[in-house]
Chains A and B, each alone.
Chain A
Amino acid sequence: MKVIVAQDLLEANDGIAGRNRLRWDSLGTLVVNLISAPGAGKTTLLEQVLEDVSRDLAVGVIEGDIYTCRDAERIARLKVATVQINTKGACHLDAGMIERAWQELELQCGKRLDLLFIENVGNLVCPAEFDLGEDIKVALLSVSEGSDKPAKYPLVFHQAQACVLTKVDLLPYTDFDLGAARQEIFGLNPKVAMFATSAKTGEGVEDFCRWLRQQVQVKREKKQDYDQRQG
């Protein structure tokens, strides 16, 4: 007997992601999912961004790691509400893990957040496949990884709303081809917002923060429109 199923393999995950998205839309919280290879500088960039945006925005962080709470400890030092997920071997975060972490974060901070960062497990492949309910995926690529990565791992660069090149202070010491990397990323994703940053010199971080604030504003306006329509 043949049974036509025609169902997405990620249907269960996407259902929960949809639920997360509705919840954050109704709160007007902008959710940003940071994806990169291990060691590209996600936590370091996040520390610098948090210093800036937490001055006037209510911010929370969900940290995803396979093991340890080291990243969450780093972020918590900045007095930002943080929840750590340990996937214990799983190479990506999924929407169910985020839903549980969000409940914990809400209890912890007890106020409406303007901005929630999800720092995904260090991996350029698997996290790209799993919708968490976020508004924005940010793909980070460090100069030390090499400029061929967008071509080798196209999915995450295709899906990202923003791409942050990190460690650009290393450009003089490597054969990283900035022009080629940019061209490849724009080819995969012509609408992407691109930033070149260095956590060491602080270059470009402010530009990225400015863009994030604009996105927070857009999300706020969407919520106001929605509330007005609801009467």
Chain B
Amino acid sequence: MHELALMENLIDIIEQSARAHDISRITKVRIIVGKLTAAMPEALELAFQVLTRPSTENGSHGINWENAVLEIEEREVLAQCPECHKQFKVDDLSLMCSTCNRPAQVISGRELQVDYFEGE
């Protein structure tokens, strides 16, 4: 359950950015999670709910998270062959290029990123 640590980082990143933009209430957060990470969307959602629940501690930084929603975009695992440059979706856990039989590079699916947030 390292998703809690990831969501603590998310809140830090967003609160810092919100203060820089004079935003005091967060309404929506969108993150990108690749399928080759060990982060589970359900666990991220749960951690987000727990950490943004109104409590005496929340709002101590002057940021209101009440009713903020988390949106998760999942990214498929894509690989590219260094030989023929063909890109292919990895769904059988094999990173070998079927044409050249060479190991391909993962080009997508390792993302754990904050995309944007909305607030006022």
Contacts and interface: CB of A to CB of B under 8 A. Distances in A.
A90 interface: yes
Interface stretch (B31-39, B49-57, B59-67): B31-39
Given A5-B14, A12-B9, A94-B5, A188 B93 contact: yes
B95 A90 contact: no
A9 B31 contact: yes
Given A1-B120, A10-B9, A91-B2, A158 B113 contact: no
A40 to B, nearest CB: 17
Contact of A90 (B5, B115, B118): B5
B9 A9 contact: yes
B88 interface: no
A9 B116 contact: no
- In terms of DSSP, what is the predominant structure of the interface of chain A? mixed
Interface residues of B, number: 34
B116 A8 contact: no
Given A7-B13, A11-B13, A1 B118 contact: yes
Contact of A5 (B1, B17, B37, B96): B17
B95 A189 contact: yes
Contacts, number: 97
Interface stretch (A44-52, A103-111, A126-134): A126-134
A129 B9 CA distance: 14
A10 B36 contact: no
B111 to A, nearest CB: 8
Nearest to A153: B38
Contacts of B21: 1, 3
Contacts of B116: 2-6
A184 interface: yes
A2 B118 contact: yes
A154 interface: yes
A226 B108 CA distance: 32
A210 B5 CA distance: 37
B41 interface: no
A128 B38 contact: yes
Interface string B1-37: 1100110011011100110010100000001000011
B70 interface: no
Given A8-B114, A129-B39, A190-B95, 12 more contacts: A1-B119, A3-B119, A5-B17, A8-B113, A10-B112, A90-B2, A130-B2, A150-B93, A151-B93, A156-B38, A158-B106, A190-B103
Q: Which 6 A-B pairs have the closest CB atoms?
A: A190-B103, A126-B2, A187-B94, A5-B114, A9-B112, A125-B38
12 contacts: A2-B118, A3-B118, A5-B17, A6-B114, A7-B13, A8-B114, A9-B10, A9-B13, A125-B2, A129-B112, A190-B95, A190-B103
